[in-house]
């Protein structure tokens, strides 16, 4: 089948979120063709370029969610255009500035499926009941948001883009009227002109996918998303918009995968406006309360719309699943699929480290990025308690960031200063040099050249975070067969499953007690490490992840209606309308054996390398092959 993979800030770029996971998924499903539709988050990401792509990725199309919008033909400003824009943007603005509470019964939203038109007032068809944008919000405002969103999409398709309109004075005035409506939340009512300008700027970036030429016949006859069999969105946020439009216009099934809830990221990063979070105004400026309130409401409504329309939602863990259910996702369409990780690079260490080597059984290891959510401060205070009862214990803090990135804020320096204060250098005798029991190291140093070496550097691996989604580092430690002590945050308990010790976050005393319990019992460490490795190999490998999505793809296609072009005059399906050889690479010619059945056999040209996707057909032609003609937003074909 032909799969449209929708990403934001990740694959196929060399850096970004979910990049590695998407690459492993695409390479593991080589029997399918992939088209990648990628949204980039900043110039730095685009400067890194793309990673190496497999041959069955037929096309990559990109668009930025940063910088100034590209000018589109036709301009903006006609009376009819402005009136329609005010109507649709007014509905969207009313939805994101409305108070949370009970509303009218659900059912006034736009229909979904091939040929659906905006504003018909019909129900949502076969979609599951619509959830709320944010916990506690009303269904009538969710319908307003859907009507406004898809009305703007129709307007962008007709007139060539919305960027100028979304940054216009009309948009600011429309948003201001919505915020001044009686009953609007206090945060929205306090919005000033500067706040409204920031919000409209952020909305313009978030809604750029509505204006892209990805949804039909583009330059050179490129079918775009109208030619894919399945849309797979690898994250929430703006990347969902192309999938929503493809589902509504062409009836394309939509699969949504979230290994980290984008709405949760909005809550956590909204105050800083940092790069890598939601599309807030550039420059990393702190955002005011009204701006955070309105943008968070927008992303909440967008998440609810995505959860309501997706045919299947695959959270990466139960922690993410609870967020999705709270935001309106239907339990019947939720299926947990753990992220796949490469266990091969930890195999040698995992097989040899069932018992730590002599000298390492008194060493605690912490691996990660030194930043406030990791709570290294609590770890240092806990280790001070450990040293009271285990004087020969040591702590190795191994940072995965390198160079200037590791010193971009003062938190790492503060941690080092605290370590120097709590643990002055100690010497074995009067003639030896002093040495601190706490060492700060970086991945790639001669002592710890690889991640596997880092986890094997001690007897117990510690995770001290106060905020965590899916704990990747914890799974890596389990692959290495190490006993672990972790704080109960995010999906930690689900990942550990009884193969390690879990303590409350922000509790140095409990963390110290758990570490002492393992440091004093090497046999218990070995048992827990072996159990942890067995659990990780069963649940968190690339193979199980790829197998799960292989079955999900087939399941979704089995429930998908026959495409319009493959339906006969009477409306019934046409069996074998698309040849089975449609996606077989190489040249094919008609059989020469005269059997009359039209069998195709490889001719002399089949033994030579042939251009990809250029077969010669002896039967009914398939859909137009990929990679035909240039496209305005195309980066590679």
Give residue for tokens 């892209």.
212
pLDDT tops 50 at residue 278: no
Torsion sign over Cα 286, 288, 293, 294:
negative
SS3 helix, strand, coil % of the chain, rounded to 5? 45, 15, 45
Entry pTM: 0.79
As beta bridge partners, residue 502 has 486
* pLDDT at residue 327, as a whole number: 86
* pLDDT at residue 217, as a whole number: 65
Pair of tokens at residue 428: 């074995």
Looking at every residue in the chain, the average pLDDT score rounds to 80
What is the average pLDDT across 171-178? 94
What is the average pLDDT across 420-428? 81
Distance of CA 6 to the CA centre of its chain: 10
* pLDDT at residue 604, as a whole number: 41
* pLDDT at residue 325, as a whole number: 92
pLDDT tops 50 at residue 276: no
* pLDDT at residue 122, as a whole number: 37
More confident residue, 516 or 1: 516
* pLDDT at residue 565, as a whole number: 57
What distance in Å separates the CA atoms of residue 524 and residue 526, rounded to the nearest whole number?
A: 5
More confident residue, 488 or 18: 488
Strand 501-503 with 483-487, pairing:
parallel
* pLDDT at residue 619, as a whole number: 41
pLDDT in tens, 205-241: 999 999 998 997 655 567 899 999 999 999 989 999 9
pLDDT tops 50 at residue 271: no
pLDDT in tens, 563-580: 555 556 666 666 666 655
What letters, b where the CB count within 10 A reaches 16 and e where it falls short, cover 551-587?
A: ebbeebeeeeeebeeeeeeeeeeeeeebbeebbeebb
pLDDT tops 80 at residue 39: yes
Q: Residue 373: which pLDDT band, with cuts at 50, 70 and 90?
A: very high
* Contact criterion met (CB below 8 Å) for 376 and 397: yes
Residue percentage of the chain with pLDDT more than 70: 73
pLDDT tops 80 at residue 615: no
Q: Residue 304: which pLDDT band, with cuts at 50, 70 and 90?
A: very high
* pLDDT at residue 71, as a whole number: 66
Distance of CA 77 to the CA centre of its chain: 36
Residue percentage of the chain with pLDDT more than 90: 54
Q: Residue 545: which pLDDT band, with cuts at 50, 70 and 90?
A: very high
pLDDT in tens, 306-333: 999 999 999 999 989 998 998 889 999 9
* Contact criterion met (CB below 8 Å) for 504 and 374: no
Helix and strand totals (H; E) in the chain: 21, 15
* Contact criterion met (CB below 8 Å) for 436 and 422: no
* Contact criterion met (CB below 8 Å) for 516 and 459: no
* pLDDT at residue 508, as a whole number: 97
| CATH node for 344-540 | 3.40.50.2000
Domain range annotation of the chain: 344-540
Pair of tokens at residue 603: 């001719």
* Contact criterion met (CB below 8 Å) for 359 and 486: no
pLDDT tops 70 at residue 595: no
What is the average pLDDT across 166-192? 90
**DSSP calls for 167-228:** TSHHHHHHHHHHHTSTT--HHHHT--HHHHHHHHHHHHHHTGGGGSS-SS--GGG--GGGG-
pLDDT in tens, 62-107: 999 988 887 665 556 678 888 999 999 999 999 999 875 433 333 3
What letters, b where the CB count within 10 A reaches 16 and e where it falls short, cover 283-292?
A: eeeebbebbb
**Pseudo-torsion of CA 158, 159, 164, 168, nearest 10°?**
-80
594 to each of 268, 598, 600, 621, how far by Cα in Å? Answer: 69, 8, 11, 21
The single-letter DSSP state of residue 429 is S
């Amino acid at each position: 089948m032909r799969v449209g993979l929708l990403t934001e800030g990740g694959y196929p770029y060399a850096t970004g979120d979910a990049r590695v996971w998407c690459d492993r998924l695409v390479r593991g499903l080589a029997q399918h063709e992939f088209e990648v539709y990628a949204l980039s988050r900043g110039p730095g990401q685009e400067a890194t370029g793309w990673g190496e792509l497999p041959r069955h990725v037929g096309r990559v199309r990109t668009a930025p969610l940063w910088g100034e919008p590209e000018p589109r033909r036709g301009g903006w400003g006609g009376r009819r255009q402005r009136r329609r824009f005010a109507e649709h943007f007014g509905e969207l603005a009313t939805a994101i500035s409305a108070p949370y509470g009970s509303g009218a019964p659900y059912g006034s939203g736009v229909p979904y499926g091939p040929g659906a038109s905006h504003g018909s007032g019909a129900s949502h068809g076969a979609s599951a009941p619509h959830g709320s944008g944010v916990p506690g919000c009303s269904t009538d405002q969710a319908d307003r948001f859907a009507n406004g969103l898809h009305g703007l999409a129709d307007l962008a398709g007709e007139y060539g883009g919305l960027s100028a309109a979304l940054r216009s004075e009309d948009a600011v005035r429309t948003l201001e009227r919505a915020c001044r409506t009686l009953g609007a939340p206090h945060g929205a009512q306090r919005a000033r002109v500067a706040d409204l300008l920031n919000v409209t700027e952020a909305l313009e970036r978030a809604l750029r996918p509505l204006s892209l030429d990805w949804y039909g016949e583009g330059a050179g006859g490129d079918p775009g998303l109208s030619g894919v069999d399945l849309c797979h969105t690898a994250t929430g946020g703006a990347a969902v918009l192309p999938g929503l439009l493809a589902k509504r216009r062409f009836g394309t099934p939509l699969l949504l995968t979230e290994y980290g809830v984008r709405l949760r990221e909005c809550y956590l990063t909204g105050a800083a406006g940092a790069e890598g979070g939601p599309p807030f105004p550039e420059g990393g400026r702190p955002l005011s309360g009204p701006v955070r309130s309105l943008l968070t409401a927008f992303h909440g409504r967008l998440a609810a719309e995505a959860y309501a329309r997706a045919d299947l939602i695959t959270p990466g863990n139960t922690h993410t699943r609870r967020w999705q259910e709270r935001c309106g996702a239907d339990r019947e369409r939720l299926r947990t699929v753990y992220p796949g990780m490469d266990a091969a690079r930890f195999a040698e260490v995992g097989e040899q480290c069932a018992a730590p080597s002599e000298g390492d059984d008194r060493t605690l290891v912490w691996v990660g990025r030194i930043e406030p959510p990791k709570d290294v401060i609590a770890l240092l205070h806990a280790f001070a308690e450990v040293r009271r009862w285990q004087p020969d214990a040591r702590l190795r803090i191994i940072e995965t960031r390198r160079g200037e990135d590791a010193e971009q804020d003062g938190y790492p320096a503060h941690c080092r200063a605290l370590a120097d204060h709590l643990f002055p250098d100690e010497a074995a005798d009067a003639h030896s040099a002093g040495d601190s029991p706490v060492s700060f190291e970086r991945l790639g140093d001669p002592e710890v050249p690889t991640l596997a070496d880092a986890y094997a550097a001690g007897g117990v691996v510690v995770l001290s975070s106060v905020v965590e989604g899916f704990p990747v580092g914890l799974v890596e430690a389990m692959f290495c067969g190490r006993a672990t002590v972790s704080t109960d945050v995010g999906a930690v308990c689900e990942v550990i499953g009884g193969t390690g010790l879990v303590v409350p976050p922000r509790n140095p005393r409990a963390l110290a007690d758990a570490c002492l319990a393992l440091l004093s019992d090497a046999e218990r460490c070995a048992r827990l490490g072996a159990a942890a490795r067995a659990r990780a190999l069963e649940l968190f490998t690339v193979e199980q992840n790829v197998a799960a999505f292989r079955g999900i793809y087939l399941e979704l296609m089995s429930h998908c209606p026959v495409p319009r072009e493959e339906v006969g005059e009477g409306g019934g399906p046409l069996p074998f309308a698309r040849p089975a050889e449609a996606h077989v690479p190489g040249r094919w010619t008609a059989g020469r054996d005269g059997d009359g059945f039209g069998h195709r056999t490889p001719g002399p040209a089949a033994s030579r390398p042939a251009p990809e996707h250029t077969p010669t057909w002896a039967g009914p032609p398939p859909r137009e092959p990929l990679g035909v003609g240039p496209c305005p937003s195309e980066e590679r074909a």
